[in-house]
């Protein structure tokens, strides 16, 4: 059905009116659902929409179209999305790759929320977020139908609008007795962490957290709301003999003050401060959850740790090559011809992969690794490029420098971004002498580059964490213009990490979960048991490329290794797997819950041996081979998307995979 009007469903009356359209949509697909032989016996297709599309990358040319269905079986509602066979516009996507995106019979009992996006220009899309915290890629409705989809869902499950976000709809399984009971109480929904009292809350207040509770991933001006990512229930011991009221109260006991404080400090706490933070949290945990402590007279037996299926130490010795000294000036000259061109780029990248680069060479080498300069450029061409780019940078910079105070009063977006940048710059790497002290000119350069980038890429703007990514680049380049263009090149790959829909981060966390499942199934199953399957414990690792976990020089060494793309352009995911496997015995042996696991992961900062970790990651990448590559959806950052023109084929093939 063609959607005749696109506007926000701002009140329940408007939403209720759309239910009639949903009913009409169901009637239209009635004949199709009766004749379909693909559905299991007793299943009823209550909604079906063709030409619903997923974009593996942020480019419109990379698209997979398919058919979206809502299927009711018994009293449960399921959602499926099946791609059309041979309808991908990306020639690199095989049928196996497309199957990575297939959504097969997801029960709405496992769905936390549905977020609807209505851009001023373009097509509406939705993001379905599971209770685990993982989200499916955005589903674009090129022929309309979002309102009908939501209306149909509301007819079969409890669907309530979030109190915080008008376009977020919270899902309850209507057949779940606990959820049905809470829904009938009409308790407040979607309580923000920022307004949750630090003292123990009453049952009514906790109920709103339990059910509306973990709201959809939100981004304020592009900044990821890290605290919302980590909201979860603590594991509880249930006594069947307790009455229903006690079960409800037990369910209402949510995340402790410890977990809330810990996750809210993921960005700005130093390792020493983080330790004291967790010490504070531990005392709060003991005060609020003392009833769940084991009794002193109970002997705690050690938990057996399932063996590592790959035996990481032996694997690293067999597959991982020893690290080499950094690339020096004399050896660097052997890779260049008389005019400054790189003779063998593959050999150069391999050499840097195994040893990194001496600091005095980094400026010249990083320009090439990041793509600011070409491997084939001569000395003269590189100098010409620097001159042209410097002029272009000054033109962009002048756009915000020429804004008068009167203009700024009327330019809200500029004021907001400028304020965020100024706030972040003064607390970025101040312990490094390059940025230390009052009146440091390098802080002004950092500020200028970030604000200029927010004008260069106005759609993305500035997001918290970008200053961390720029800091080492400016430290190496020591030039404002060259730092800017190297940062632009880096953000071409990492920019999707900061997108408002968080699709870039979700795709990497999804790939990480698949890699752990492939390379260490027992560890993956443990995370599943402890409700950590979303892998948000690794969020900061991926977002900032381990910058907060390593010493400054180690960060630069890791980055230049990652930028070579020697074995994989997603080596950072194998680094994540290597760290998790390295400490798997401690994680499983101590039966770490989410709170303690987050504490442990955060306290690894400053205690990671980068050489050992890189050797482990190399071994895991080689061992995984093509199976590992198949775990990573095409277009997952930091992949560079193809810049093809927009292709759209409206003729749909009825054959589905």
Q: What letter would DSSP give residue 308?
A: P
pLDDT at 34 over 60: no
Q: Is 170 helix (H, G, I), strand (E, B) or coil?
A: strand
Mention every residue, 6+ apart, whose C-beta is less than 8 A from residue 424: 450, 464, 466, 467
Closest Cα to residue 192, out of 167, 171, 165?
Answer: 165
pLDDT at 381 over 90: yes
pLDDT at 246 over 50: no
pLDDT tens-digit map of 457-488: 999 999 989 999 999 999 999 999 999 999 99
254, 531 contact by CB (below 8 A): no
Closest Cα to residue 503, out of 240, 295, 273, 216?
Answer: 216
Closest Cα to residue 336, out of 377, 287, 290?
Answer: 377
The reported pLDDT for the residue numbered 59 is 60
The reported pLDDT for the residue numbered 310 is 76
Q: Which of 198-207, 293-302, 335-344 is the most confident on average?
A: 335-344
The reported pLDDT for the residue numbered 503 is 82
335, 343 contact by CB (below 8 A): yes
The reported pLDDT for the residue numbered 77 is 92
CATH tag, 43-174: 2.30.29.230
pLDDT tens-digit map of 317-356: 667 788 899 999 999 999 999 999 999 999 999 999 999 9
Q: Which residue has the higher pLDDT, 179 or 376?
A: 376
CA 419/CA 422 separation, integer angstroms? 5
CATH tag, 317-377+501-638: 1.10.472.80
Q: Where are the domains of the chain?
A: 43-174, 317-377+501-638, 380-497
The reported pLDDT for the residue numbered 342 is 97
pLDDT tens-digit map of 58-117: 666 678 889 999 999 888 899 999 998 765 555 556 666 677 788 988 999 889 899 998
Rg of the chain over all Cα atoms, to the nearest angstrom:
26
Mention every residue, 6+ apart, whose C-beta is less than 8 A from residue 570: 508, 511, 632, 636, 638, 639
Across the strands, what pairs with 83? 66
In the CATH scheme, what architecture does the domain 380-497 have? Orthogonal Bundle (1.10)
pLDDT tens-digit map of 67-82: 999 999 888 899 999 9
User: Poorest-confidence range of 49-58, 300-309, 603-612?
Assistant: 300-309
637, 497 contact by CB (below 8 A): yes
The reported pLDDT for the residue numbered 450 is 98
Q: Assess whether the previous peptide bond of 638 is cis (omega < 30° from 0).
A: yes
CA 422/CA 247 separation, integer angstroms? 48
pLDDT tens-digit map of 604-650: 999 999 999 999 999 999 999 999 999 998 889 987 543 332 222 32
Look up tokens 């499950």; give the residue: 157
User: Poorest-confidence range of 164-178, 198-212, 393-407, 489-503?
Assistant: 198-212
Q: Which residue has the higher pLDDT, 537 or 273?
A: 537
pLDDT at 391 over 70: yes
Mention every residue, 6+ apart, whose C-beta is less than 8 A from residue 44: 33, 71, 72, 73
CA 316/CA 614 separation, integer angstroms? 10
CA 614/CA 579 separation, integer angstroms? 10
Q: What letter would DSSP give residue 40?
A: P
169, 114 contact by CB (below 8 A): yes
Mention every residue, 6+ apart, whose C-beta is less than 8 A from residue 57: 496, 634, 635, 639, 641, 642
119, 130 contact by CB (below 8 A): no
* Mean per-residue pLDDT of the chain: 75
Closest Cα to residue 574, out of 528, 618, 521, 522?
Answer: 618
Kindly state the tokens that stand for 621: 């990448």
The reported pLDDT for the residue numbered 89 is 56
pLDDT at 221 over 70: no
Instruction: Return phi, psi of residue 534, to 5°.
Output: -75, -15
pLDDT tens-digit map of 528-557: 998 888 898 999 999 999 999 999 999 999
Kindly state the tokens that stand for 226: 């890290």
């Amino acid at each position: 059905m063609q959607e005749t009007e696109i506007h926000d469903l701002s009140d329940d009356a408007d939403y209720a009116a759309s239910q009639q359209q949903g009913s009409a949509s169901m009637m239209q697909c009635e004949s199709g659902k009766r004749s379909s032989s693909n559905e299991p016996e007793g299943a009823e297709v209550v909604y079906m929409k063709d030409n619903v599309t997923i974009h593996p990358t942020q480019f419109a040319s990379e698209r997979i179209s398919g058919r979206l269905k809502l299927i009711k079986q018994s009293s449960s509602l399921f959602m499926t999305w099946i791609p059309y066979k041979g309808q991908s516009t990306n020639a690199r996507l095989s049928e196996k790759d497309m199957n990575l995106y297939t959504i097969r019979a997801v029960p709405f009992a496992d769905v936390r929320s549905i977020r609807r996006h209505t851009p001023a220009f373009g097509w509406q899309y939705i993001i379905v977020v599971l209770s685990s915290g993982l989200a499916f890629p955005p589903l674009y409705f090129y022929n309309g139908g979002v309102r009908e989809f939501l209306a149909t869902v509301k007819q079969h499950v409890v669907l309530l609008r979030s109190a915080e976000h008008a376009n977020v709809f919270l899902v309850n399984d209507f057949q779940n007795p606990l959820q049905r009971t809470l829904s009938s109480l009409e308790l407040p929904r979607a309580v923000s962490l920022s307004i949750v009292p630090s003292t123990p809350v009453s049952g009514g207040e906790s109920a709103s957290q339990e059910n509306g509770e973990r709201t959809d991933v939100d981004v304020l001006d592009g900044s990821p709301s890290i605290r919302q990512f980590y909201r979860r229930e603590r594991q509880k011991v249930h006594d069947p003999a307790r009455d229903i009221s006690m079960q409800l109260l037990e369910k209402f006991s949510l995340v402790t003050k410890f977990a809330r404080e810990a996750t809210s400090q993921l960005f700005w706490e130093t390792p020493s401060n983080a330790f004291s933070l967790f010490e504070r949290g531990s005392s709060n945990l003991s005060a609020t959850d003392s009833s769940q402590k084991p009794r002193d007279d109970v002997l705690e037996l050690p938990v057996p740790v399932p063996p590592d299926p790959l035996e990481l130490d032996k694997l690293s010795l067999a597959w991982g090559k020893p690290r080499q000294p950094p690339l020096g000036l004399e050896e660097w000259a052997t890779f260049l011809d008389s005019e400054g061109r790189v003779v063998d780029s593959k050999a150069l990248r391999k050499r840097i992969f195994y040893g990194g680069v001496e600091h005095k060479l980094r400026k010249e080498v990083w320009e090439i690794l990041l793509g600011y300069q070409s491997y084939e450029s001569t000395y003269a061409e590189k100098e010409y490029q620097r001159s042209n780019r410097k002029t272009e940078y000054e033109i962009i910079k002048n756009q915000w420098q020429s804004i008068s105070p009167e203009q700024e009063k009327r330019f809200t977006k500029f004021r907001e971004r400028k304020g965020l940048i100024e706030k972040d710059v003064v607390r970025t790497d101040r312990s490094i002498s390059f940025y230390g002290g009052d009146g440091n000119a390098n802080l002004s350069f950092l500020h200028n580059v970030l604000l200029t980038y927010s004008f260069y890429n106005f759609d993305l703007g500035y997001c918290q964490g970008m200053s961390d990514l720029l800091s080492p680049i400016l430290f190496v380049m020591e030039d404002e213009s060259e730092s800017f263009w190297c940062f632009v090149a880096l953000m071409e790959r990492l920019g999707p990490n900061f997108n408002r829909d968080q699709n870039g981060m979700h795709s990497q966390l999804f790939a990480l979960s698949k890699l752990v499942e492939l390379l260490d199934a027992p560890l993956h199953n443990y995370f599943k048991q402890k409700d950590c399957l979303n892998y948000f414990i690794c969020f900061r690792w991926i977002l900032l490329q381990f910058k907060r976990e390593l010493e400054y020089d180690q960060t630069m060494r890791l980055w230049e290794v990652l930028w070579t793309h020697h074995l994989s352009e997603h080596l950072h995911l194998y680094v994540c797997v290597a760290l998790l496997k390295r400490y798997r015995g401690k994680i499983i042996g101590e039966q770490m819950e989410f709170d303690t696991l987050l504490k442990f992961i955060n306290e690894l900062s400053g205690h990671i041996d980068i050489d050992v970790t890189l050797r482990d990651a190399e071994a895991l990448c080689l061992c995984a081979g093509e199976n590992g590559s198949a775990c990573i959806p095409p277009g997952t950052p930091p992949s560079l998307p193809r810049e093809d023109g927009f292709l759209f084929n409206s003729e749909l093939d009825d054959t589905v995979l």
